[in-house]
Amino acid sequence: SLRLRQILINYVNNAIKFTSQGEVVVSVRIAQEDAHSIVLHFSVKDTGIGLSAAQMAQLFQPFQQADSSTSRKYGGTGLGLAISKQLANLMGGDVGVESELGEGSTFWFTATLRKATNQSERLPRKTRVQGVRVLVVDDNDTARNVLDDLLSGMGFHVSLVENGQQALVEIEQALLAGNPYRVVFLDWYMPEMDGIQTAKAIKALNVSQDKRPEIIFITAYGREQLIKEVETLGIAHILIKPVSASVLFDMAMQVLGEHRIVLSQHNPDQAVKDFAYYARELRPIQYANILLVEDNVLNQEVVVDLFMGVGLNVEVANNGQEALLKLTQSSYDIVLMDMQMPIMDGVSATREIRQNPQYDALPVVAMTANAMQQDREKCLASGMNDFLTKPIDPDELFAMLLKWVKPTVFSESDEIDILPELRAVEMPTIALPVIEGLDTTLGLNPVLGDVTMYLKMLARYVENQKHTPQKIQQALQVSRFDEAERFAHSAKGVSANIGATVLKTLAGDIERHIREKHDIALIEASLAAFAQAHGQMIASLDAFFAQTTQKLPVISMTLGSAAQVELIEKLQRLLSDDDGEALALFEAYEGVFASLFAAEDYQQLKQLVSCFDFDQALHCLSALKKERT
């Protein structure tokens, strides 16, 4: 890789040096391939001063360059090209140049490389973009072709036009044909009809909102003028050139609102996949000890509630450092590791874990909202075994546990009442909030359609996320960009969990702008858009909870006597350790606790646990346990 980098740097530097206007394009293609090796053809094309045939004949020779006048104006280039040729030869390749005086040049080289014997598995695409129509509008041929390659590779059906007028014609024809474009990737700076004018014309089309394409601006400038004009159009999506595949994919998914379909709607045959169903499926690993490493409280609760609901044991660490400490104190069968956390992130923590031979066989599974192939490769390189994308899909989460956790061997005569079978009770209908930007169907997916759990999750969201915009703003004001990016990343994940698709998109914009070090004006504009939408969401949820008079039902569970004792003892241990997971355990099994104790005693215990008065809660629980025996 060092040799490739040296040649490319030399070629690109020369191209930029000799190109006063136009463009420099770096490209690579497969020239030849067999079972064990591959020949790659790299080229750097510019629109600079070009070379004559006589000048080209002198290149790639030691201490040679086009002529002395070139050296005086642009500086020497001969030695770099001679070294490039030597490096290419060392890689089993060659070098060359194609040029015409005054028309630009294309410098190329080839390299023969061995194929990796351990090729990482390609990240499976879980989105439904195959055949989705998108339109690319850009007057630059290279920019259009690059976007075409990237989007087509993702599965989109891509059309290309070079100006705003052609774009409007194309969009109108697609509407008439009944196959409208879903997204328009629109360059800002174009002759005659620029991106802003084109966007206004698209917005003015006499069609329903669901048939009008979403607009993503693409620009190489990123100036305040574009930001302000885009805000007036109600468009919050801006990509800064050069656009990477990861950023492009993430933005497209955000705009399309791509998400998984709730099982009961997608496949009626799977509608019975409730907690009892999964508890039976997970019986082979019902005694597993799971360590969840996650800094966000809401994300913790979503996963913990899922595990508690199916009877699995889970402990929580708030960051990588806490995870390392817990590993020295307890034995775990699997670690679920978030990637972005304060103090110590998931990648660093996993590297530390893999340095200890004691944990060679311990499965570590990444959990992250960043789902591109390079994110997976980063996880695997650190020593992680597998990869889960947020928002967490219960099917995929439980399948991952069955894949990596060693099953427990037990006989059919063993006690099976510890499975948390739900009683067949009549559940009253509970109204869900109807709020713009909140997809309750999507939000119910991570909690397996449990409305009670979902409403609790919304309440936690209001409680824990109310001040997120201010936290991001404060971090930006003191130039703590890593901290601001982490807050935005967290906001993106928890918004996805509750089904707040618009907030997920806006938080993702902030995260991306900070990560790619864009202009502070662009970051602040994205934050302003997020803060406004976030404030409306919090206010709407506050109003919903203030106005609703419905009492959330308590779901009762049937547990055998041995499981009841085990549950009480686990709550005792958590209270004794002053572990915040005690609240999650109590809420997940509150129907069981309500059935174990007298109503007055239960309410007292519930009040103490809910107020985090764990010392008094432990004293109360110990007394109640003594009474039972």
State the pLDDT at residue 279: 67
**Residue 428 pLDDT:** 43
Would you say the C-alpha torsion 379, 384, 385, 386 has a positive or negative sign? negative
Q: For CA atoms 128, 134, 140, 145, give the dihedral sign.
A: positive
For residue 554, the model assigns a pLDDT of 45
Alpha-carbon distances, residue 19 vs 28, 107, 479 (angstroms): 21, 13, 36
Q: What is the structure's pLDDT at 579? A: 61
- The pLDDT score that the predictor gives to residue 277 is 65
Per-residue pLDDT at 355: 93
The tokens describing 353, both together, are 């874990």
Residue 389 backbone phi and psi in degrees, to 5: -100, 145
pLDDT at 411: 40
Which pLDDT does position 106 carry in this prediction? 96
| Closest among 553, 591, 272 to 427, alpha carbons compared | 553
In this prediction, the residues of the chain whose per-residue pLDDT falls under 50 are: 63-66, 68-78, 120-127, 258-272, 409-429, 549-558
* Residue-wise burial string across 544-572, b where 16 or more C-beta atoms lie within 10 A, e elsewhere: beeeeeeeeeebebebeeebbeebbeebb
Domains, the chain, ordered by start: 2-114 (3.30.565.10), 133-256 (3.40.50.2300), 280-404 (3.40.50.2300), 440-550 (1.20.120.160), 561-627 (no CATH)
Q: What is the pLDDT of residue 27?
A: 92
pLDDT at 62: 63
Residue 605: CB atoms within 10 Å:
23
- Measured in degrees and rounded to the nearest 5, phi and psi for residue 239 equal -110, 135
- pTM confidence score: 0.44
pLDDT of residue 58: 83
| Distance, CA of 62 to CA of 339 (rounded, Å) | 49
Could you tell me how many helices (H) and strands (E) the chain has, helices first? 27, 16
Residue 80: predicted pLDDT: 73
- The rounded distance, in Å, linking the Cα atoms of 624 and 102 is 91
User: Do 87 and 112 meet the contact criterion of CB atoms below 8 Å apart?
Assistant: no
